[in-house]
Amino acid sequence: MKMFSLPIKWKLTLWYTLILALILVAFSSSVYIYFRNSLQKSIDTKIKSIADVLSSSMVETHGTNVFSNFERYLENVLGKKPKGKFIQIMDSSGRIGAKMSDIEAETIPTSFSALEKALKGEVVYETIESASKQRIRTVIVPIMEKERDKVTTIVQVGTSLEDFDETIRRLLLIFLISIPTSIAITTVSGYFLARKALKPVDKIRRTAIKISSSNLDERIDVGEKRDELGRLATTFNDMIERLKESFQRINQFSIDVSHELKTPLTILKGETEVALRKDRNIEEYKKILKSNLEEIDRMTKIIDDLLLLSKAESNNIVINQEDIQIKDLLVDICMSMEMFAKQKGVELVLGNMEEANLRGDELKIRRMFSNIIENGIKYTPKGGKVEVYSSLNNGYINIYIKDNGIGIPESDIKFIFDRFYRGDKSRRRETGSGLGLSISKWIAQAHKGTIEVKSVLSQGSTFIVKLPLRDE
């Protein structure tokens, strides 16, 4: 089974086990090497110290009384008979002059290479095997004759490695038992810990299975958790909430599009049916066709605006960069809106206008302000007022479009820039497409600006457009 096809809890368990196994093996190997070397160094130090004492004594006494009674000589020099040791004295040819053995091996073979090095004045350590298959650690210390500068005598001290080997075997046995046991315990513990840690993920999975476009009310119970999985669950809940809002908007958008297009189509159908019921004169037909043309123009505007927003959302619209004198542009827009305002019985006022230069697409910025000012005029009752003014603020210009119209309910303000939004819940039919503010918001954002609205029901609304000034 490939690892990538395993469940995450098993992958985590295997990773825990693998990492622990590597750590244990590395640690055990380090302990083994250190302990083995320390023991061997201790053995080497002990046998070397005996060899040094003997060689010093033989130099001082010139070897007198060494061979006559070797064991007594050793007791006199070392203070007591050495236990568990093998000591022998050889001449330069390797012939044994005296020896003492407190181990099983009566004779210790000496390699030719070790003897050759000793004759050159080197101290030589060897691990050799006796005839009885006993491992022995030895040291060979040469004794130089100063007058002739020549090795005349060789002292060899050895000790059995039986205790050393037994200690090392026990250490290895401990490792061989403890490492697999630790790995087994870690594997089981790691599995249960991983399963417990991943329970919230499984809960997220089960919740996700229940979610559909018709069921977006499912949520994960986060509780008091503030860890990574708790944050994941919170993020997942937030995502579901955003999906729910998106589906609601899509559903509302579908209803709105159907409503907006059905109304003019119904009118077209009704007027056409009326026209066909009986013969009419040319003027009556012209009147019906003119009314039909108005409805067709309205549907065309809705479709054009929807196409514009669709292109904007997919970033398929080029924003031209031109120098714009914002005061001149707003004055021109207000002059073009003046006749419409008079027809509605609304006063359109130009307040304090700051001189400021912008960089952007003049046609789109003109459309944005025309949409907002037109909306203000539409929803301001006869005798009301719409005022346009501006102010400078830290590299930006704020343009205010203020009316004393019907206002917007506080609960509806967050939807004001949604497609087909109208403050009147009955969705009374106006000449607009219901997409003007959505387009205006996109134009502001495309110019690195913002639009916000402040409104009090039955008192009026103020739209604030914030645009960056041109870099000088």
The 3 state secondary structure assigned to 69-119 is CHHHHHHHHHCCCCCCEEEEEEECCCCEEEEEECCCCCCCCCCHHHHHHHH
- Cα(181)–Cα(28) distance, integer angstroms: 14
| Contact status, residue 465 vs residue 437, Cβ threshold 8 Å | no
Q: Do you know the residue count of the chain?
A: 472
Identity of the amino acid at 288? I
State residue 236's pLDDT score: 81
The CATH architecture annotation of domain 228-313 reads Orthogonal Bundle (1.10)
CB hemisphere CA count around 316 (13 angstroms): 7
For residue 368, what are the CA distances in angstroms to 140, 399, 441? 103, 12, 8
> What pLDDT does 147 receive?
67
- Would the pTM of this model clear 0.85, i.e. be above it? no
Distance CA(158)–CA(46), nearest Å, equals 10
Instruction: Could you list the beta-strand ranges (E) of 133-224.
Output: 135-145, 150-160
Q: Residue 51: in which H helix or E strand, if any?
A: helix 8-61
3-class state of residue 214 by DSSP: coil
The two structure tokens encoding residue 13 = 């368990």
CATH 1.10.287.130 in the chain: give the residue spans: 228-313
**Intervals of CATH 3.30.450.20 along the chain:** 3-167
Residue in the block written with tokens 């924003």: 319
Single-letter amino acid, residue 14 = L
Complete edge-to-edge strand list for the sheet that includes strand 96-101: 96-101, 85-91, 150-160, 135-145, 124-129
Q: How far apart are CA 337 and CA 347, in angstroms?
A: 11
- Which amino acid does the sequence have at 274? V
Question: Cα separations (Å) of 454 from 392, 402, 463, 465?
Answer: 19, 9, 7, 12
Best CA proximity match to 335, nearest among 370, 361, 384: 370
Q: Tell me, which fold does domain 322-468 have in CATH?
A: Heat Shock Protein 90 (3.30.565)
360 C-beta neighbours (distance < 10 Å), count: 23
Give the span between the Cα atoms of 358 and 324, in whole angstroms: 5
End-to-end CA distance of the chain: 66
- The two three-digit tokens of residue 177, written as one number: 């038992």
Reported as half-sphere exposure (CB side, CA atoms, 13 A), residue 375 has a value of 30
- The Cα 23–Cα 348 span in angstroms is 81
User: By C-alpha distance, which of 220, 216, 210 is closest to 246?
Assistant: 216
pLDDT confidence of residue 313: 67
Please give the pLDDT value at position 428: 45
Distance separating alpha carbons of residues 285 and 392, to the nearest angstrom: 55
Identify any residues that bridge with 387 across adjacent strands, giving them in sequence order. 349, 402
Compute the distance between CA of residue 439 and CA of residue 312 in angstroms, rounded to an integer: 9
CA separation for the pair 69, 173 (Å, rounded): 45
What's at 299, amino acid-wise? M
Residue type for position 305: D
CATH level 3 topology of 3-167: Beta-Lactamase (3.30.450)
pLDDT in tens, the chain (472 residues): 454 577 778 888 888 889 989 999 999 999 999 999 999 999 999 988 888 888 887 777 665 556 666 777 777 777 777 777 888 888 877 788 777 777 766 667 777 888 888 888 888 898 888 777 788 888 888 888 766 678 878 888 888 888 898 999 999 999 999 999 988 998 898 888 888 877 777 877 887 787 776 777 777 777 676 777 778 778 888 888 888 887 777 776 677 677 667 777 887 888 888 888 888 888 888 888 888 888 788 788 777 777 777 776 666 677 888 999 999 999 999 999 999 999 999 999 999 999 999 999 998 899 899 989 998 999 899 999 999 999 998 899 999 999 998 888 888 888 888 877 665 544 444 555 677 888 889 889 989 999 999 999 889 999 999 999 987 6
User: Cβ distance 110 to 72 under 8 Å?
Assistant: no
**Rounded distance, CA 73 to CA 54, Å?**
10
Domain limits, CATH 3.30.565.10, in the chain: 322-468
CA distance 156 to 141: 6
Half-sphere exposure of 362 toward its Cβ, with a 13 Å CA cutoff? 12
